[in-house]
Amino acid sequence: MLGAIIGDVIGSRFEWDNVKSKQFDLFNPRCRFTDDSVLTIAVADAILNSKSYQDAILEYGKRYPGVGYGGRFKEWLRMDDPQPYNSWGNGSAMRVSPVGWAFNTEAEVMNAARLSAIVTHNHPEGVKGAQAVAMCIFLARNGKSKQEIKEYVELVFEYNLNERLDDIRFVYKFDVSCQGSVPESIIAFLESTDFEDAIRNAISIGGDSDTIACIAGAIAEAFYKDIPENIILETKKRLPSNFINILDKFARVRT
């Protein structure tokens, strides 16, 4: 889960200013948490404190306005009786990482990912994107190889993971759909050599940089099980204390 938030913070300054390169400073004063981090924390809080996903997402969404929510999500926050709006956007995938850590069977992860998605993203592609990311994390934390993760995702979710980053980078444009960003995020992880390299890969293709790095970072944390301490410290400097409390409590529970 921390890996997701790190990806979001590092990628935040590139969302509307793509770099298309792996050569950049990881942090600068413009780096901040965005909606990806807020809603990831909301999902973690829901799991830790037995809240409904909808209640937690509403609570955090209203508590932290102005962090980059999409227009339809902002309308959802204002509804008297919020209902899912059939979204296929990557908002379901960016917030799902706690699910991949918290549950211990494939069936549990798939179901929880679906439940976390459908409060807003009840389109089949929105659900699929969340489930694919959660399962990548689940498989990675349980010792599966990159090849095993790739084959599972291709078989179960029918995503094409055979493209190369060098080819994607040349043509990729901003795409907030699950089907147009989740496979690319997974490929950024698959081609990485360590956690930091996964983040650099994700940002280097451009597009919705904070979300792509959020997803790639979430999977990379589970797979590599090691994040450089300086990256953790620089990220936590930019987070509210209650985010850090949730992160720490979640880490204790899952270990």
CATH number at residue 86: 1.10.4080.10
Residue pair 176/89 in contact by the 8 Å Cβ criterion? yes
Helices (H) and strands (E) counted in the chain, each on its own, are: 15, 0
Residue 165 lies inside a defined structural domain of this protein: yes
What pLDDT does 253 receive? Answer: 77
| Residue numbers of the domain that contains 207 | 2-15+31-250
On whether residue 146 sits in a domain, the answer given is: yes
Q: Residue range 99-111: average pLDDT? A: 97
What is the arithmetic mean of pLDDT over 124-140?
98
Position 145 in a domain: yes
What percent of the chain stands above pLDDT 90?
A: 98
Across the range 89-114, mean pLDDT stands at: 98
Instruction: Please provide the average confidence, as pLDDT, over all residues in the chain.
Output: 97
User: Position of tokens 């089949």?
Assistant: 124
The answer as to whether 23 is a domain residue is no
What pLDDT, on a 0 to 100 scale, did the predictor assign at position 142?
A: 97
Give the pLDDT band (50/70/90) at residue 254: confident
Residue 252, pLDDT above cutoff 90: no
Would 168 be classed as within a structural domain? yes
Domains of the chain: total: 1
In a domain, 25, yes or no: no
In a domain, 24, yes or no: no
Over residues 231-251, mean pLDDT:
97
- Give percent helix, percent strand, percent coil of the chain, each to the nearest 5: 65, 0, 35
> Model confidence over 200-240: pLDDT tens digits?
999 999 999 999 999 999 999 999 999 999 999 999 999 99
Please tell me the distance from the alpha carbon of residue 47 to that of residue 228, in angstroms, as a whole number.
Answer: 27
H-type alpha helices, 80-176: 91-94, 97-102, 106-118, 124-141, 146-157, 165-171
pLDDT tens readout for residues 19-64 = 999 999 999 999 999 999 999 999 999 999 999 999 999 999 999 9
Span 2-11, pLDDT tens digits: 999 999 999 9
Residues of the chain with pLDDT > 70, as a percent, come to: 100
The pLDDT-based confidence of 77 (bands split at 50, 70, 90) is very high
- Reported as half-sphere exposure (CB side, CA atoms, 13 A), residue 27 has a value of 14
Residue 255: pLDDT above 60? no
* Average pLDDT estimate for 81-100: 97
Average pLDDT over residues 132-160: 98
Q: What is the mean pLDDT of residues 83-99?
A: 98
Alpha-carbon distance 232 to 229, whole Å? Answer: 5
Closest listed residue to residue 212, CA positions, set 228, 225, 199: 199
Q: Are 129 and 92 in contact (CB under 8 A)?
A: yes
Residue 22 in any domain: the answer is no
